[in-house]
Amino acid sequence: MDKSASTICESQQEIWSGVANSAWNLNGAMGLLHSMNTLRTTLLLEGLTESGIITNKEGTRPLEGVRILDIGCGVGFWSEALAQLGANVTGVDSVMENIKAAEAHMAPGMNINYDCTTVEDYLRDHPGAQFDAVVASEVIEHVENPELFVSCASKLIKVGGIFFVTTINRTVFSWCVAILLLEYILGIAEVGTHPYNKLLTPTEVENWFSRASIEPKYLTGQFYNPITKNWFRISSTQVFWVMYGVKKA
């Protein structure tokens, strides 16, 4: 595969390898990501229920046997949470330090396979692999060739399965929050973590979904409450947003 067909953004790789070893301390921006688990899991369970992949989203292991590919899994914040609910999780990340930290943190017996790779290389190495759901949370705004990212992900989803993304919009409000506030004022994310021109509007991603045979099904905004330290749903998608769609035949 030539270089133009890679989803790796070389200039960002150092940012991720730099935070890998301290990420599970849940300080700063990494704590923000970890605290997204409750809402993103709720939304994924809703999507999987609506698409008929699971019949009951209640109980302690509603994801029993559901195959999930977590692309850009980082140190495994969401992979672990999904595995605890019964899912068979494959977590891939392009940065080896993240994969090592994820493997080191995983409790014995947990059903997660971690692999240091990208979605396009995973697809090349596992032709025919089919997941019930592919998730990419706070990843697509960091990749090169995001449309390639979506099209490779789509090929790894079974018909009727779910593609689930969370990311950040490209608006004046998102610039104020994700760049000015998080990077420059609070300093909890390294400057350069969110280059403005890499941020994505829901319409852009929706178009890539459609071109990759994924029918957009649900779009919502989300926001962080620093008092409760939890994310909540809001109708505005001006800053943080979540979308999932269903893979068509």
Ligand X SMILES: C[S@@+](CC[C@H](N)C(=O)[O-])C[C@H]1O[C@@H](n2cnc3c(N)ncnc32)[C@H](O)[C@@H]1O
Q: Which residues bind Mg ion (CB under 5 A)?
A: 138
Instruction: State yes or no: residue 73 binds ligand X (CB under 6 A).
Output: yes
Q: Which of 142, 170, 194, 247 binds ligand X (CB under 6 A)?
A: 142
Instruction: State yes or no: residue 132 binds ligand X (CB under 6 A).
Output: no
**Cβ neighbour number for residue 96 with a 10 Å cutoff:** 13
- Closest distance between ligand X and the C-beta of residue 24, in Å? 11
Q: According to the 3-state scheme, what is the secondary structure of the chain?
A: CCHHHCCCCHHHHHHHHHHHHHHHHCCHHHHHHHCCHHHHHHHHHHHHHHCCCCCCCCCCCCCCCCEEEEECCCCCHHHHHHHHCCCEEEEEECCHHHHHHHHHHCCCCCCEEEEECCHHHHHHHCCCCCEEEEEEECCHHHCCCHHHHHHHHHHCEEEEEEEEEEEECCCHHHHHHHHHHHHHHCCCCCCCCCCHHHCCCHHHHHHHHHHCCEEEEEEEEEEEECCCCEEEEECCCCCEEEEEEEECC
Segment contacting ligand X by CB under 6 A, of 53-61, 66-74, 172-180, 215-223: 66-74
Question: Is the Cβ of residue 48 or residue 102 nearer to ligand X in the bound state?
Answer: 102
Question: Is the Cβ of residue 24 or residue 175 nearer to ligand X in the bound state?
Answer: 24
Question: Is the Cβ of residue 55 or residue 230 nearer to ligand X in the bound state?
Answer: 230
Q: Which residue in the shown chain puts its C-beta closest to Mg ion?
A: 138
- Closest distance between ligand X and the C-beta of residue 149, in Å? 7
Q: Which of 138, 151, 157, 231 binds ligand X (CB under 6 A)?
A: 138
Q: 47 with 39: CB under 8 angstroms?
A: no
Question: Is the Cβ of residue 132 or residue 138 nearer to ligand X in the bound state?
Answer: 138
Question: Is the Cβ of residue 124 or residue 248 nearer to ligand X in the bound state?
Answer: 124
Q: What gap in Å lies between CA 110 and CA 155, rounded to an integer?
A: 26
Distance of CA 75 to the CA centre of its chain: 12
Instruction: State yes or no: residue 8 binds ligand X (CB under 6 A).
Output: yes
Segment contacting ligand X by CB under 6 A, of 48-56, 71-79, 152-160, 175-183: 71-79
Instruction: State yes or no: residue 87 binds ligand X (CB under 6 A).
Output: no
Q: Which of 41, 44, 45, 78 binds ligand X (CB under 6 A)?
A: 78
Instruction: State yes or no: residue 93 binds ligand X (CB under 6 A).
Output: yes
Instruction: State yes or no: residue 7 binds ligand X (CB under 6 A).
Output: yes
Q: Which does 74 bind (CB under 5 to 8 A by kind): Mg ion, ligand X, none?
A: ligand X
Query: Which residues contact ligand X (rule: CB under 6 A)?
Result: 7-8, 16, 33, 71-74, 77-78, 93-95, 98, 118, 137-139, 142-143
